[in-house]
Chain A
């Protein structure tokens, strides 16, 4: 190895050594800044604290109409299920030999209903319902499950306050695993 090669090798070692010491890999910074409008167009997630819920609202009475038009073909009359998932009932069955997991018997957060219906339902036309329609269908499903009243409006303020009956029966494992 020539002196020049040795010097190069030493320099290379020093450079990688510094990078390793800092724990950082040099990256090209090729992301472009996202504008608030761009983010607003894509940010459809809604947490249990209600952050992300849009303006608008709806009641079970109106939701029944939306449900019959957009949901009933797959989920049956009044959320009874068939051909796809049952959405209503099943209370008190979770510890039995035939547990029935529905929004009412199983789901721990009401905001999840809004988040999921808005992003993924109806199955063949996702993201096609208006926010008012999603609120109304959410209210309808919560009402069918006996969780809210027929005339209770679901909106950005009321929906996060709905307490789901099975919420206390979830045991969070991460980060500590107790199985």
Chain B
């Protein structure tokens, strides 16, 4: 794994240099008054059937690490957190983790089977599911492997998104899973459910029935439109707050079972090897975490003066209660303002005005959720868990600001 991480790192440094993900001053003067800009002197473009971002924003893209050797669709692509504001991730920039590519599923032919310990095994079409009562909820989705580079002994020289961009946030709309399980006549005391996708990996996970009957959803829509193919079109299971791998994409089968199936992705993967050689299994909720997205690694401050620190916080265990920010390397911590509404298991935007005196310093953020969980410092986190794990790293992220204004990832 260390080898894998190293290769990712080397690759990513190359990308960072190639795309120049750095703040750039807009070219000045071109349209300053008293001149009238050229785009006011002739009619603009016509209409688009499906809109796209401004062409000047074409550097705002996801970062693709690499696929497994000999494959094109086994890997992950990350959200450019440092380039975004607010809390909703544009669907086209939502992170993706796939295990064997994105299947091309004809929704008219797709079926969902519910069977196992139920009175009535049932098959649903998409047309049928679209007639069910639906709910809409804003939730983050985070890959269990997000922020894994912080397990490395040296800080990755990567942007906020390249390090922490396996988290995104959308408004998800779909059918509460409980409704379909009740129609099938599930014994609510049946303890587990196997969820399986219709991809070439037939990716599968065991899901506790308590979660299935609580807030689990069969998501059909993301940010108002049908799911994007890479996020599970036409149906994905959605488990608010839990590691993203369990929100099985391209869902085709739910089997009610008496015990976990112990699939590959809940045994050999998505278990957390600790320093003592033991492994934690079924570590479902994503821990409380935050990251300052602006300023962050790769950016440069243009001299002393007033800046707005902006970042994201989230917790799989509930709402963010507070985010504290230090601008002096941890000597003092200040409560940042949280942007309303602060929703449970959703990205929460925090902001803090900061007057930089031009001296070198270190910025950090520390999130606390309403269950009382506090995001740990990295050295404490590593001391507790070791550095052999791949998943569930929620250590505090530190950015150094040099006197030159250059912002870099540091362990501090």
**Docked pose: A100 CA to B232 CA in angstroms:** 32
Partner of A30, one of B69, B74, B124, B263: B124
Segment with Cβ contacts to B, from A2-10, A55-63, A91-99, A136-144: A91-99
Q: Give the bracket for the number of chain B residues in contact with chain A.
A: 35 or more
**B52 on the interface (CB 8 Å rule)?**
no
**B264 on the interface (CB 8 Å rule)?**
yes
CB within 8 Å of B: which of A97-118? 97-99, 101, 103, 106-109, 111-112, 115-116
Q: Are A172's CB and B204's CB within 8 A?
A: no
Encoded as 1 (CB less than 8 Å from any A CB) or 0, chain B from 239 to 263 comes to: 0000000000000110101011111
**B368 on the interface (CB 8 Å rule)?**
no
**B354 on the interface (CB 8 Å rule)?**
no
Complex interface: chain A residues within 8 A of B208 (CB): 174-175
**B121 on the interface (CB 8 Å rule)?**
yes
**B359 on the interface (CB 8 Å rule)?**
no
**Docked pose: A104 CA to B182 CA in angstroms:** 41
**B200 on the interface (CB 8 Å rule)?**
yes
Q: Are B280's CB and A27's CB within 8 A?
A: no
In whole Å, how far is B193's beta carbon from the nearest beta carbon of chain A? 11
A83-B282 contact, Cβ under 8 Å, with A32-B122, A39-B115 = no
In whole Å, how far is B247's beta carbon from the nearest beta carbon of chain A? 16
Q: Are A101's CB and B264's CB within 8 A?
A: no
Interface of A is mostly: loop
Name B283's closest neighbour in chain A (CB-CB). A173
**Docked pose: A99 CA to B201 CA in angstroms:** 26
A99-B1 contact, Cβ under 8 Å, with A25-B179, A42-B253 = yes
In whole Å, how far is A102's beta carbon from the nearest beta carbon of chain B? 9
Name A52's closest neighbour in chain B (CB-CB). B261
Q: Are A175's CB and B259's CB within 8 A?
A: no
**A47 on the interface (CB 8 Å rule)?**
yes
Q: Are A34's CB and B122's CB within 8 A?
A: yes
Encoded as 1 (CB less than 8 Å from any A CB) or 0, chain B from 200 to 214 comes to: 111110001010000
Q: Are B69's CB and A74's CB within 8 A?
A: yes
Complex interface: chain B residues within 8 A of A30 (CB): 124-125, 128-129, 131-132
Please count the residue pairs between chain A and chain B whose beta carbons lie under 8 angstroms apart in the complex. Answer: 169
**B372 on the interface (CB 8 Å rule)?**
no
**Docked pose: A43 CA to B123 CA in angstroms:** 13
In whole Å, how far is B114's beta carbon from the nearest beta carbon of chain A? 7
**B278 on the interface (CB 8 Å rule)?**
yes
Name B317's closest neighbour in chain A (CB-CB). A177
**B194 on the interface (CB 8 Å rule)?**
yes
Name B208's closest neighbour in chain A (CB-CB). A174
Q: Are A31's CB and B70's CB within 8 A?
A: no
A170-B271 contact, Cβ under 8 Å, with A83-B70, A112-B263 = yes
**Docked pose: A160 CA to B179 CA in angstroms:** 35
CB within 8 Å of A: which of B40-94? 68-71, 74
Partner of A99, one of B113, B133, B183, B273: B273
Q: Are A31's CB and B204's CB within 8 A?
A: no
**B184 on the interface (CB 8 Å rule)?**
yes
Encoded as 1 (CB less than 8 Å from any A CB) or 0, chain B from 261 to 279 comes to: 1111001100101011111
**B388 on the interface (CB 8 Å rule)?**
yes
In whole Å, how far is A27's beta carbon from the nearest beta carbon of chain B? 5
Complex interface: chain B residues within 8 A of A47 (CB): 257, 259-262
Name A117's closest neighbour in chain B (CB-CB). B264
Q: Are A27's CB and B278's CB within 8 A?
A: no
Partner of B282, one of A46, A98, A173: A173
**Docked pose: A32 CA to B120 CA in angstroms:** 9
Question: What would 30 A/B residue contacts be, using CB atoms closer than 8 Å?
Answer: A27-B182, A28-B131, A30-B124, A30-B129, A31-B120, A31-B123, A31-B180, A33-B121, A34-B113, A34-B115, A34-B122, A34-B123, A39-B113, A42-B252, A47-B260, A74-B69, A84-B69, A99-B1, A99-B273, A99-B277, A101-B1, A101-B268, A101-B273, A108-B262, A115-B263, A120-B201, A123-B70, A171-B278, A174-B282, A175-B210
Residues of A within 8 A of B (CB): 24-34, 38-39, 42-49, 73-74, 83-84, 94-95, 97-99, 101, 103, 106-109, 111-112, 115-116, 119-120, 123, 126-127, 166, 169-175, 177, 179
Can you name 15 extra interface pairs (CB under 8 A) apart from A84-B70, A170-B279, A179-B283? A25-B176, A26-B133, A31-B122, A31-B123, A31-B180, A34-B122, A47-B262, A73-B70, A94-B279, A103-B268, A106-B279, A112-B262, A116-B263, A170-B267, A173-B282
Residues of B within 8 A of A (CB): 1-2, 68-71, 74, 99-100, 113-115, 120-125, 128-129, 131-133, 176, 179-180, 182-184, 194, 196, 200-204, 208, 210, 252-253, 255, 257, 259-264, 267-268, 271, 273, 275-285, 287, 388
